[in-house]
């Protein structure tokens, strides 16, 4: 099941939030905020511990009402010596709904503004990682919804402080066990602190066996004692965030959605970024289409692409809100999108997905043909999924907004033809008519130039290919209804600047005009009774859509051409090219994956908690194709 069961809003006879499922209260009667400050902040020597640190990461094992997070954010905001960014990563199996959180927080007026901002960004209650940027990105809440035993092994971070929280050990023993303690130690570094309200003997012994030194100290609100501690012996296996580069400068090749997103995410963290593009203007390739569509995908088994696309859509929708708040709004809208079934079998599949996955209504719902026609006020050919978490976006406008940052410099008309590595990093060469010139040099280079990246790094096993696609534009007056987006055999966008887009047929035998006409034919299949002919075409645009063999992107450090001695059987064993990264192979999912790609690369470069689970990180690792080649050669 994709959906997460929310917690029930209940109270004890004394008025304290209570769970009948666990037969326990959420916090001491003296108050949740006071408990958070005394147990978790003071127990981890906060705020002193984060002062002078560029970013600080806290890992929590039970989000509950979110009071420990809000108390931490409040203390962070009040501290003039705080760092640039606070990461708060919290695992919760039974989260409260947005409305229930409003009820719970009403008794704490001092955090009303913080609570309102957090609830405004409250995620879909679905399993997995949900990243919420607050305070303009200075505070990052990563909610991990699901069982701690499953999701802690999927996290990649190095916690500076741990809030070991949850219902009492005798009420929720699954959370207080050696496997959990070992994962906490894996996610710690050599100076991580820890605090918890309990002093149960098996908890203390379990933490010590996992590698934490703990001691009893004065407890809170009538409890005689609590535990505080810190990491001691090094774990045998731990998360390994890449060390932050000494120089916070980067060169990005490509000024489309991928390159613009990476540049924006780095610039927001204080990096100085130079973006090079071979065209005379930004967003000239696949990112130059008039309108693109964004919505999550779903599968009955919630496969890798579905999970990645869902995460990416959430990041892009959040970025639209952040850019608007910063005064750089992107031409876009969210009228909904109807994904119409292509066949009766797919129609039945969509209905089954909505039922079996228990899709939250704010994500998507199934409509049969009659309901879909009624919703759109237009006859529709079949039933399908109505996507609420969707948007249409003007890709060139998105790129322009992302690149409009004082830390970003854009140079167009610069074709990088060769990379050369030396002891100081990378040198980028271009030039024409046999006259080679050095365009830039930098320790960190990110390739976001589609399939051209494979030409710059021919030995890195980047199997990217291009599919030429055509987008057809009609005047909006030719097809005024339905106003929302449609997709199925083809797609139809809402109107922007008086034009609607149809796409995106593949070009066959070089006949671009035929592909433009095919777009009309495909939309005609979705809208029976609507007459469409080529006289309605305003114009069309052809572009190359880069993709990978498994239809997943390549995001992260690029593999080295020559691997180390001995067979590599895991991705972490692959040698990497120092300072060389990729954001490539987005295919038809550029809008879904670009912002997420930028966030992932920025976190990798800064040593921050990664925004995706381990399985997804492995699935999009640029080294996966090199690993497959090595495994095949070694008969692994």
Are 105 and 46 within one domain? yes
Strand ranges across the sheet with 292-294? 292-294, 391-393, 332-333
Q: Which of 532, 475, 530, 493 is nearest to 333 (CA)?
A: 493
Mean pLDDT confidence for 244-254: 86
Find the helix packing angle between 590-606 and 395-403, rounded to 10°: 20
Does residue 526 sit in the same domain as residue 401? Answer: no
Tokens of 552: 């997943």
What is the rounded average pLDDT of the residues 525-550? 88
DSSP for 366-408 reads: EE-HHHHHHHHTS--SS-EEEESS-EEE-HHHHHHHHH-STTE
Q: Is 411 helix (H, G, I), strand (E, B) or coil?
A: strand
d(Cα 173, Cα 418) in Å, to the nearest integer?
A: 58
Bridge partners, 386 (sequence order):
338, 365
CA gap 398, 320 in Å, rounded: 8
Residues in the chain, total: 636
**What confidence category does residue 239 fall into, taking pLDDT thresholds of 50, 70 and 90?**
very low
Q: Contact, 602 vs 315, CB < 8 A?
A: no
579 and 515 housed in the same domain: no
CATH (domain of 24)? 3.40.50.150
40: DSSP letter? I
- Whether 317 is in a domain gets the answer no
Domain boundary among 200, 231, 262: 231
The verdict on 131 and 39 lying in the same domain is yes
Q: Is residue 240 part of a domain?
A: no
Q: Which helix (H) or strand (E) holds 182?
A: helix 178-186
| pLDDT tens-place string over residues 43-68 | 999 999 999 999 999 999 999 999 99
Please compute the mean of the pLDDT values over residues 241-268 and round it to a whole number: 88
Q: How many Cβ atoms sit within 10 Å of the Cβ of residue 108?
A: 18
As for how many domains the chain has, the answer is 3
Model pLDDT, residue 563: 62
Q: Based on the domain organization, do 30 and 155 belong to the same domain?
A: yes
| Torsion sign, CA atoms 471, 302, 181, 173 | positive
Burial class (CB in 10 A: 0-12, 13-18, 19+), 518: buried
Q: Does residue 153 contact residue 181 with C-beta atoms inside 8 Å?
A: no
- Is residue 445 within 8 A of residue 405, CB to CB? The reply is no
| Same-domain pairing of 491 and 620 | no
CATH number for the domain including 401?
3.50.50.60
Same domain, 100 and 159: yes
Rounded Cα distance, 101 and 67, in Å: 10
**259 in Cβ contact with 448 (< 8 Å):** yes
One domain for residues 526 and 472: yes
Out of 171-180, 331-340, 426-435, 518-527, pick the least confident.
Answer: 426-435
Q: Are 302 and 436 in the same domain?
A: no
Dist. CA 151–CA 106, nearest whole Å: 31
Whether 578 and 558 have beta carbons less than 8 Å apart is answered as: no
Q: What is the pLDDT of residue 233?
A: 64
Dist CA 115 CA 570 (whole Å)? 42
Mean pLDDT computed over 510-521: 91
Task: Tell me the C-alpha distance between 232 and 212, whole Å.
Answer: 5
Examine the pLDDT at 592 and tell me if it is beyond 80: yes
Task: Say whether both 354 and 225 belong to one domain.
Answer: no
**Cα distance between residue 344 and residue 339, in whole Å:** 14
| pLDDT for the residue 431 | 78
CA–CA–CA angle 282, 285, 287 (5° rounding): 75
51's tokens: 């002062």
Do residues 26 and 19 touch, judged by C-beta distance below 8 A? yes
How does the average pLDDT of the chain come out, rounded?
92
CB-based contact 530:479 (threshold 8 Å)? yes
Where is 541: in which H helix or E strand?
Answer: strand 537-547
Alpha-carbon distance of 190 to 271, in angstroms, equals 27
What CATH code is carried by the domain that includes residue 360? 3.30.9.10
Residue 126: partners with Cβ closer than 8 Å, 6 or more residues away: 2, 3, 4, 145, 310, 360, 363
pLDDT in tens, 14-54: 999 999 999 998 988 878 899 999 999 999 999 999 999 99
Q: Is 6 inside any structural domain?
A: no
Tokens of 153: 């092994």
Inside any domain, residue 543:
no
Tokens of 77: 């905001």
**Single residue among 538, 559, 590 that ends a domain in this structure:** 538
φ, ψ at 340 (rounded to 5°): -90, 135
Cα–Cα distance between 245 and 199 in angstroms, integer? 41
C-alpha span between 275 and 270 (Å, rounded): 15
Residues of the chain with pLDDT > 90, as a percent, come to 82
Q: What is the spatial order of strands in the sheet that 408-412 belongs to?
A: 408-412, 272-277, 249-253, 445-447, 576-584, 554-559
* pLDDT tens-digit map of 553-584: 999 999 998 665 566 678 888 889 999 999 99
Provide the pLDDT for residue 245: 62
CA atoms within 13 A on the CB side of 630: 23
Residue 237 confidence (pLDDT):
46
Do 269 and 296 lie in one domain? The reply is no
> Which domain range does residue 363 map to?
291-312+332-396+468-538
User: Measuring CA to CA, which residue among 287, 282, 281, 307 is closest to residue 296?
Assistant: 307
Mean pLDDT of 286-303: 94
Strands 272-277 and 249-253: parallel
CA atoms within 13 A on the CB side of 396: 10
pLDDT of residue 433: 65
Residue 12 lies in a domain: no
Q: What is the pLDDT of residue 629?
A: 85
Q: Is residue 327 part of a domain?
A: no
For residue 347, give the 3-state DSSP assignment: helix
Is the same domain home to 302 and 437? no
Task: Sort residue 566 into left (φ over 0), alpha (ψ -120 to 50) or beta.
Answer: left
Residue 175's Cα: distance from chain center in Å? 26
Residues 256 and 285: beta-carbon distance below 8 Å: yes
3-class secondary structure, 622: coil
* Beta-bridge partner residues of 491: 487, 503
Residue 40 lies in a domain: yes
Q: Reply yes or no on whether the pLDDT at 234 is more than 80.
A: no
pLDDT at position 532, please? Answer: 81
HSE, CB side, 13 Å, CA atoms: give it for residue 461. 21
Phi and psi at 216, nearest 5°, equal -85, 140
Res 604: pLDDT: 97
Residue at 4 is within a domain: no
Burial grade of 508 (CB within 10 A; 0-12, 13-18, 19 or more): exposed
What is the radius of gyration, based on Cα positions, of the chain?
26
Positive or negative, the CA dihedral 473, 476, 478, 484 is: positive
């Amino acid at each position: 099941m994709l959906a997460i069961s929310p917690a029930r809003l209940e109270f004890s006879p004394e008025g304290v939030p209570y769970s009948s499922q666990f037969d326990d209260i959420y916090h001491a009667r003296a108050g949740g905020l006071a408990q958070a400050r005394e147990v978790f902040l003071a127990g981890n020597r906060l705020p002193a511990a984060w002062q002078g640190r560029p970013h600080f990461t806290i890992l929590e094992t039970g989000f509950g009402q979110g009071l420990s997070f809000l108390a931490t954010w409040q203390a962070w905001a009040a501290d003039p010596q705080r760092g640039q960014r606070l990461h708060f990563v919290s695992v919760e199996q039974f989260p409260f709904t947005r409305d229930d959180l409003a009820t719970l927080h009403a008794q704490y007026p001092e955090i009303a503004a913080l609570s309102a901002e957090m609830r405004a960004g409250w995620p879909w209650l679905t399993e997995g990682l949900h990243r919420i940027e607050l305070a303009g990105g200075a505070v990052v809440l990563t909610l991990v919804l699901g069982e701690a035993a499953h999701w802690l092994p999927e996290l990649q971070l190095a916690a500076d402080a741990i809030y070991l929280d949850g219902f009492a050990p005798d009420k929720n023993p699954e959370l207080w066990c050696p496997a959990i303690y070992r994962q906490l130690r894996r996610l710690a570094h050599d100076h991580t602190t820890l605090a918890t309200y309990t002093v149960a003997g098996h908890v203390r012994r379990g933490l010590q066996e996992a590698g934490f030194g703990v001691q009893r100290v004065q407890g809170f609100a009538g409890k005689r004692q609590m535990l505080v501690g810190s990491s001691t012996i090094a774990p045998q296996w731990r998360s390994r965030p890449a060390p932050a580069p000494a120089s916070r400068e980067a060169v990005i090749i490509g000024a489309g959605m991928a390159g613009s997103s990476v540049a924006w995410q780095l610039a927001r963290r204080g990096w100085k970024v130079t973006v090079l593009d071979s065209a005379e203007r930004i967003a000239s390739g696949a990112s130059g289409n008039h309108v693109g569509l964004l919505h999550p995908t779903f599968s009955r088994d919630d496969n890798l692409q579905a999970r990645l696309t869902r995460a990416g859509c959430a990041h892009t929708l959040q970025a639209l809100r952040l850019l608007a708040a910063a005064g750089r709004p992107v031409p876009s809208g969210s009228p909904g999108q109807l994904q119409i079934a292509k066949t009766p079998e797919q129609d039945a599949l969509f209905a089954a997905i909505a039922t079996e996955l228990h899709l939250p209504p704010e994500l998507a719902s199934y409509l049969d043909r009659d309901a879909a026609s009624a919703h759109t006020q237009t006859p529709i050919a079949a039933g399908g999924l109505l996507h609420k978490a969707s948007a249409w976006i003007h890709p060139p406008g998105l790129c322009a907004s992302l690149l409009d940052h004082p830390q970003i410099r854009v140079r167009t008309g610069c074709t990088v033809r060769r990379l050369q590595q030396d002891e100081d990093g990378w040198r980028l060469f271009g030039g024409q008519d046999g006259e080679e010139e050095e365009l830039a040099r930098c320790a960190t280079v990110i390739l976001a130039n589609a399939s051209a990246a494979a030409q710059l790094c021919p030995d890195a096993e980047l199997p990217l290919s291009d599919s030429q696609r055509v987008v057809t534009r009609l005047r909006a007056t030719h097809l005024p209804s339905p106003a929302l987006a449609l997709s199925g055999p083809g797609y139809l966008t809402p109107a922007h600047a008086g034009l609607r887009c149809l796409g995106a047929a593949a070009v066959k035998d070089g006949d671009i005009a035929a592909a433009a006409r095919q777009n009309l034919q495909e939309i005609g299949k979705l809208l029976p009774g609507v007459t469409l002919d080529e006289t309605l075409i305003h114009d069309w645009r052809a572009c190359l859509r880069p993709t990978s063999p498994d239809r997943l992107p390549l995001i992260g450090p690029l593999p080295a051409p020559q691997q180390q001695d001995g067979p590599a059987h895991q991705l972490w064993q692959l040698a990497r090219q120092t300072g060389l990264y990729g954001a490539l192979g987005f295919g038809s999912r550029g809008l879904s994956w670009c912002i997420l790609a930028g966030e992932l690369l920025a976190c990798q470069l800064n040593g921050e908690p990664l925004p995706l689970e381990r399985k997804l990180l492995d699935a999009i690792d640029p080294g996966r194709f090199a690993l497959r080649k090595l495994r095949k050669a070694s008969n692994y």
